[in-house]
Amino acid sequence: MPEQVELEGIAAEADRARTDEGAQKMRGRDETGSLELAYEKGNAAGARKAVMTNEPWSDVSDDDETMIINMGPQHPSTHGVLRLMLELDAETVVRVKPVIGYLHTGMEKTAETLTFTQGATNVTRMDYLAPMSNELCWALTVEKLLDLEIPPRATAIRVLMAELNRISSHLVSLATQGMDLGAISMMIYGFREREEILSFFEKCSGLRMNNDYIRPGGVAADLPPDWESDVAKIVETFPAHIDEYEELLTENPIWRERTIGVGSVTVEQCYALGLTGPILRAAGKAWDLRVDQPYCGYETYDFDVITGTNGDVFDRYKVRVGEMRESIKIVKQVLDRMPEGDYRSQDKKVTPPPRIRIDESMEALIHHFKIFTEGYKVPAGEVYCAIESPRGEIANYLVSSGSSKPWRLHVRAPSFANLQGLAPMMEGGLLADAVAVIASTDPVMGDVDR
């Protein structure tokens, strides 16, 4: 039936139009400029010369033997809605181009319409596996503009939460990486142990994720009365759990075969592409903002910066495992020395009156109402504040105009920068290794697209 064929043709055309990314997609070599090609081949960092001199690539083989395929955005191994366009020569990846933006919800624009109090609920949804890091970074940035002194107990609670969150985030990384490479037990173990930490978060803040617990001025509520036994249980049981993962993976010949020597990057490439966190440390550079540019009193805690040597998938895995052990060490120290006192600043401009006062005092009610409707004014200025999230440097660049809402908030998302490393990591490797490489960069698409 010719009519039906025609209709099918139209439907196929419409489908193509729907999935077309226009200028953002990967095109054939003949339509791609040599500079662009250099980036897609991952050579921009390694062979800067070609980029600078604008020379064509000598090793570009015949287009006919390769094909461009899509991986994602709906693919279980891309950890969210990440679309990779890969040019393959048989099973070898010749070049790769990540296409992102599928989860873009304009959170930076939204931030301009929210008060500084509401801002925490906004940023916590970006990197949804490490909400505490997002909140901590937001709080520190706003406090820097406010010039606010934070009580020691609040700071210690923040460190406790951030480190527990680091463990839970690395657990998801390990779990999903395990599943991507066929170690299904790791998936189950990782999520099982993560739940213990999330239960503790729920006890403290009421929510498992997107806690909105760390706020400018301190934290939302004091720790629950029996927090010490909960944290002590985590500190006691987790080292054994981590031993279990290592037994399962580190010495596993299949795991080693799949990860050692795969997706290597050098320190120079990390610098060139702005890669931070476990990727940079696995390459051999001991750069950790908790040590190198300390905040929240991290300089008073005793812990090591874990580094690798080869910068491959295996080293990144080892760095994460090591960081979990170090985080437990920090949590133990917080447990030993948690100071007494306020859990939030007593600055009346920022902190609302306690709930009990609202029943007794009209002024307290008005004060409370004002803070949550109008918000507090933050002095005009611009500030950039960076902390070490489980994925690398997360930072907020905040411009205030002196009103109760930010003029501009830019979030330096570690996953966004780290995804640029995919090209040098994947180029020349096998398609099956691409899965291992994605998992090892640990991207969170909420963080990438914001």
Question: Footprint of another protein on this chain (CB under 8 A)?
Answer: 14, 17-24, 33, 35-36, 38-39, 44-45, 48, 51-52, 100-101, 104, 106, 108-110, 112-113, 144-145, 147, 270-276, 285, 287, 292-293, 379-384, 386, 393, 395, 397, 399, 401-402, 407-408, 410, 412, 416-417, 419-420, 449-450
Element (H, E) at 198: helix 184-205
Half-sphere exposure of 178 (CA within 13 A, CB side): 22
Residues forming beta bridges with residue 443, ordered by sequence position? none
CB of 19 to another protein, least distance (A): 8
Closest among 445, 415, 83 to 276, alpha carbons compared = 415
Closest CA to 276 of 442, 407, 179, 393: 393
**Shortest CB 147 distance to another protein, Å:** 6
Distance CA 414, CA 277 (A): 8
What's the closest the beta carbon of residue 183 comes to another protein, in angstroms?
Answer: 31
Of residues 127 and 193, the one with the C-beta less far from another protein: 127
The per-type count for the chain, helices as H runs and strands as E runs, is 21, 8
Cβ atoms of residues 394 and 411 within 8 Å? yes
| Beta carbon nearer to another protein, 98 or 429 | 98
Minimum CB distance to another protein smaller for 27 or for 329: 27
Nearer to another protein (CB atom), residue 47 or residue 248: 47
Choose between 211 and 264: whose C-beta lies nearer to another protein.
Answer: 264
Tell me how far, at minimum, the Cβ of 26 lies from another protein, in Å: 10
- CB-nearer residue toward another protein: 63 or 292: 292
| Nearest distance from C-beta of residue 122 to another protein, angstroms | 13
Tell me the closest approach of the beta carbon of residue 415 to another protein, in angstroms: 11
- Least Å distance, CB 342 to another protein, is 19
The dihedrals phi and psi of 22, each to the nearest 5 degrees, come to 60, -130
Query: Rounded to the nearest 10 degrees, what angle do helices 227-249 and 184-205 cross at?
Result: 170
Minimum CB distance to another protein, residue 444 (Å)? 15
What is the nearest approach in angstroms of another protein to the Cβ of residue 125?
16
User: Whose Cβ is closer to another protein: residue 135's or residue 449's?
Assistant: 449
For 267-345, where are the E strands, in sequence order? none
d(CA 262, CA 257): 9
CA nearest to 258, candidates 335, 312, 327: 312
Give yes or no for a contact between 91 and 65, defined as CB atoms under 8 angstroms apart: no
Task: Count other C-beta atoms under 10 Å from residue 27's C-beta.
Answer: 15
Q: Which is nearer to another protein, 193 or 315 (CB)?
A: 315
Question: Of 44 and 179, which CB lies nearer to another protein in the complex structure?
Answer: 44
Distance between CA atoms of 105 and 339, rounded to whole angstroms?
Answer: 40
Closest C-alpha among 155, 248, 154 to residue 193 = 248
C-alpha of 439 from chain center: 13
Rounded to whole angstroms, the Cα distance separating 215 from 319 reads 30
